[in-house]
Chains A and B, each alone.
Chain A
Amino acid sequence: MSKQFQFKLVLLGESAVGKSSLVLRFVKDQFDDYRESTIGAAFLTQTVTLEDQTTVKFEIWDTAGQERYKSLAPMYYRNANCAVVVYDITQTTSLEKARTWIRELQRQADPSIVIALCGNKSDLSARRQVTQEEAKKYAEEEGLMWGETSAKSGEGVSDIFTAIAKKLPQTAAPPKAGGAARSGAAASRAGVDLNKQSNALGGQNEPCNC
């Protein structure tokens, strides 16, 4: 029997390093050269099937631009199972920024979070400012996963998400129902679903005509 898991994945990184493009490539296998700053779609999902037929569904949270002025809400980090911290291999400063985000994750997120450092825009290696050795060394020191990607060509994109899927602990299955992958699935802790119409309303307690 195949097993299914669902995890919350958050994206972090400096503006314009290609966070949304990376997700667009991963989720829809598309690329858009003139993509505006993130508007409108900040909640995507994609499923990865591993060799043993285990499926891992990522619930992907984009920053919606709230990282620009240090305004990401605690809600963003809350219960994130994994994070992809993106830098641009043609911008040294973007790796510096990535280090800041990683420190922030270590401070705010759950200690068990799986973090992948991702050097994007590998198609522009002619303009490379960040060497693979440098990034890899830093990742090893901090115990992060690392990889380079090109959202434009697609190179390395599915690899990094698959690698994350393999690394995530497949011990407890987080709940699949709506909302974020939050609390444990024990029935006694189940919350209420606002989107579901109550069936307890029929008849006696509902005299109004609304």
Chain B
Amino acid sequence: MDEEYDVIVLGTGLTECILSGLLSVEGKKVLHMDRNDYYGGDSASLNLTQLYRKFRPDQSPPAELGRDRDYAVDLIPKFIIASGELTKILVHTDVTRYLEFKQIAGSFVYRDGRISKVPSTEMEAVKSPLMGLFEKRRAKKFFEFLQNWKDDDPVTHQGVDLDKNSMKEVYEKFGLEPGTQDFIGHAMALYLDDDYITKPARNAYERIVLYTSSMARYGKSPYIYPLYGLGELPQSFARLSAIYGGTYMLDKKIDEIVTDGEGKFIGVRSGDETVKAKQVIGDPSYFGAGKTADGGKLRVVEDGKVVRAICLLKHPIPGTDDSDSVQIIIPQNQVNRRNDIYIAMVSSTHNVCAKDVYVAIVSTIVETQHPEQEIAPGLQLLGPIYDKFVSTTPLYTPVGSGEADNIFITRSYDATSHFETVVEEVQDVWKRVVGKDLVLKKREVAVEA
């Protein structure tokens, strides 16, 4: 502990582990610590003992759930978009060699009291029960328009300017009904609310293209998922970091962020040892998490809350063709809310629980004083729930950029159903820490005999 490091990283969540791995590859001397005795922080996957210890400290897991070691229950519900940014980082850093992925079997959307598969191409749109005959024709024209769009070919623009016209105007041009707009905007473009409608259509266009190209990549859904749970992701990047010289310390108490008279970072104190570094990166829980800490300085503030219910089921979700894994989106309009409700379900196919158990997480952004009631429309779709662990988590965001005091704090994991914003966060923190844009270099091939 008496050495000096370039960067100390606090917390082993996915954001921190990707940064740690990339910084080590870049040649930085990294010390990575976590107060827990497991990897993953808020993005960990827990076994049954850890799950009960976290939510029900006075109760041990029921024997009928099976072996502890068969479980890896995610704390945050997210899937990987097959053609998205996280996939690029996984491939470029070559951590895919530590991981194995499977598809998520289906992507569904809630409409008028029932769920249907999300149509993602004009072909599927034609067959979808979500639309009447005439609406199908309109939707087909809309999808053809998006799929044929070429920036440099005005003929394909049909008079639309993606940077000027709003998405509302595009919907209106094709005469799409509100219900169709709901599934396009929420189940394909994956917007959490309706704010996008009045903004330029470019972003929505890009999101829909990402969805359809991801869908086309493996066929069943646009999502993939790592065997043994999302907690494998931080572990694989931690291993990358260690291979490039990063030092790991789990189960390490972090007592103080030591700063100089001007508030600049000096080091991290654990017990009576202080380890020094030029910079520190960490998740909000190490920096007061909304409370004033470290000499009255407020470093992170609360920016909304997310409610998540981890539900253990003994059956697949009704109406999903017994899929072993699904995403279900309940667009806000359908249940008179401002934010969508998400359901993410995985099962033993992904080696995250015992056979015949299904783990579904229902989540949304909190809008009222009664968060659990807000997710009721999601819980109702699950059928009988064997057990349920509900938590309301504040989302923290840092007050400062870190450039002045060398203290770089990451954001909490948001309510989106995928990792695109996590990668944006990695790129953003990287730029502030290193002073230049993150450019992914292919990792050099390790010695192979």
Residues of A within 8 A of B (CB): 27-28, 38-47, 64-66, 68-71, 73-76, 78, 108, 178-180, 182-183, 189, 191-192, 194-195, 198, 200-201, 204-209
Bound Cα distance from A180 to B227, whole angstroms: 11
Q: B39, B101, B149, B250: which contacts A207 (Cβ < 8 A)? A: B149
Contact status A205-B216, CB under 8 Å: yes
Which B residues between 206 and 228 are near A, CB-CB below 8 angstroms?
A: 206, 209, 212-213, 215-219, 224, 227-228
Residue of A nearest to B103 (CB): A192
Bound together, the chains give a CA A178 to CA B94 distance in angstroms of 11
Q: When the two chains form the complex, which single residue of A39, A76, A194 contacts B243, counting CB atoms closer than 8 Å?
A: A39
Cβ-neighbour of A45 out of B150, B250, B251, B449 (below 8 A): B449
Contact B244 A39 (CB under 8 A): yes
Interface residues on B, range: 35 or more
Contacts of A201 in B (CB 8 A): 213, 216-217
A83 CB, min distance to chain B CBs, angstroms: 17
Q: Is the CB of B98 within 8 A of A180?
A: yes
Identify 14 residue pairs between A and B in the complex whose beta-carbon atoms are under 8 Å apart, listed by A's number. Answer: A40-B245, A44-B446, A47-B449, A69-B249, A70-B250, A75-B228, A182-B227, A183-B100, A189-B349, A194-B91, A194-B224, A195-B91, A198-B217, A205-B215
- B70 CB → nearest A CB, Å: 12
Known pairs A65-B247, A70-B250, A207-B149; A183 contacts B227 (CB<8 A)? yes
Cβ 8 A contact of A75, one of B82, B224, B236: B236
Considering the complex, which residues of chain B in the window 91-149 have a beta carbon less than 8 Å from any beta carbon of chain A? 91, 96-103, 121, 146-149
Q: Are B219 and A66 within 8 A (Cβ)?
A: no
Is B332 part of the contact surface with A, judged by Cβ < 8 Å? no
**Would you list the 8 A-B pairs with minimal beta carbon distance, nearest first?**
A71-B248, A64-B242, A73-B235, A205-B216, A69-B249, A198-B217, A75-B235, A42-B243
Could you tell me if B213 and A206 are in contact, using CB atoms closer than 8 angstroms?
Answer: yes
B350–chain A nearest beta-carbon distance, Å: 10
Query: Out of A42, A71, A194, which one reaches B249, CB within 8 Å?
Result: A71
Does B448 sit within 8 A of A, measured CB to CB? yes
A175's closest neighbor in chain B, by CB? B100
Residue of A nearest to B38 (CB): A74
Shortest distance from the beta carbon of A74 to any chain B beta carbon, whole Å:
7
Chain B residue numbers with a CB within 8 Å of A205 are 121, 147, 212-213, 215-216
Measured CB to CB, the closest approach of chain A to B221, in angstroms, equals 11
A45: chain B residues at CB < 8 Å are: 448-449
Residue B239 contacts which of A28, A64, A182 (CB distance < 8 angstroms)? A64
A66 touches B242 (CB 8 A): yes
Question: Which residues of A lie under 8 Å from residue B351 when comparing CB positions?
Answer: 183
Select the residue from A70, A73, A178 with max chain B CB neighbours within 10 A.
A73
Q: Is the contact region of chain B dominated by helix, strand, or loop, or is it mixed? A: mixed
Neighbouring A residues of B446 by C-beta, 8 Å:
40-44
CA gap between A108 and B69 in the complex, in Å: 8
A47 proximity list for chain B (CB < 8 A): 449
Please, which residue of chain B has its CB at the minimum distance from the CB of A107? B69
Q: How far is the CA of A65 from the CA of B29 in the complex (A)?
A: 14
Report B22 CB to chain A, min CB distance, Å.
15
| Bound: A208/B156 CA distance, A | 12
Instruction: Indicate if B252 sits at the interface (CB-CB under 8 A).
Output: yes
B238 within 8 A of partner (CB)? yes
Q: Which residues of B contact A (CB under 8 A)?
A: 37-39, 69, 82, 87, 90-91, 96-103, 121, 146-152, 206, 209, 212-213, 215-219, 224, 227-228, 232, 235-236, 238-239, 242-245, 247-252, 349, 351, 446-449
Chain A residue numbers with a CB within 8 Å of B224 are 192, 194
**Interchain CB contact under 8 A, B227 and A27:** no
A18 to chain B, nearest CB (A): 18
Given A44-B448, A205-B147, A208-B209, the answer on whether A75 and B98 have CB atoms closer than 8 Å is: yes
B-chain residues with CB within 8 Å of residue A69 when the two chains form the complex: 247-250, 252
Chain A residues within an 8 Å CB radius of B249: 69, 71
| CA A37 to CA B42, docked complex, whole Å | 31
Most buried by A among B37, B101, B242: B242
B103, B238, B248, B446 interface centre (most CB from chain A within 10 Å): B248
Judge whether B101 and A191 touch: CB under 8 Å.
yes
Contact A207 B147 (CB under 8 A): yes
Instruction: Pick the contact of B87: A43, A46, A194 (CB < 8 A).
Output: A194
A residues near B152, Cβ cutoff 8 Å = 209
Whether B447 lies near A41 (C-beta < 8 A) is: yes
Closest residue on chain B to residue A108 by CB atoms:
B69
A66 touches B248 (CB 8 A): yes
Q: Tell me whether A191 and B100 are in contact (CB under 8 A).
A: yes
CB of B264 to closest CB in A, whole Å = 27
With A and B bound together, what is the CA distance between A28 and B373 in angstroms?
62
Complex-state Cα separation, A192 to B222, whole angstroms: 12
Contact A75 B447 (CB under 8 A): no
Among B147, B150, B152, residue most surrounded by chain A Cβ atoms (within 10 Å)? B147
Closest partner residue, chain A, to B250 (CB atom): A71
Given contacts A68-B247, A74-B235, A204-B147, contact A198 B103 (CB under 8 A): no
Q: Are B213 and A75 interface neighbours, CB within 8 A?
A: no
Nearest-neighbour CB distance to chain B for A163, whole angstroms, equals 19
* Complex CA–CA separation, A205 to B349 (angstroms): 29
Take A178-B97, A179-B97 as given contacts and tell me if A192 and B121 are in contact as well, using a CB distance cutoff of 8 Å.
no
User: With the chains together, A12 CA to B201 CA distance in Å?
Assistant: 55
Q: Give the complex CA separation of A200 and B448 in angstroms.
A: 31
Query: Are A207 and B150 in contact, CB atoms less than 8 angstroms apart?
Result: yes
Shortest Cβ distance from B85 into chain A, in angstroms? 12
Q: Are B216 and A179 in contact (CB under 8 A)?
A: no
Residues of A within 8 A of B206 (CB): 208
User: Which residues from B are CB-within-8-Å of A27?
Assistant: 447, 449
In the assembled complex, the Cα of A198 lies from the Cα of B80 at a distance in Å of 16
Of the candidates A64, A192, A200, A207, the one having the most CB atoms from chain B within 10 angstroms of its own CB is: A207
Alpha-carbon distance A43/B243, docked complex (angstroms): 9
Chain A nearest CB, measured from B267 CB (Å) = 17
Contact A200 B217 (CB under 8 A): yes
Q: A66-B239, A200-B216, A200-B218 are in contact. List 16 more A-B contacts (CB 8 A).
A: A27-B449, A39-B244, A40-B446, A45-B448, A65-B245, A70-B37, A75-B98, A75-B228, A75-B235, A108-B69, A178-B97, A192-B82, A194-B90, A194-B96, A201-B213, A206-B216
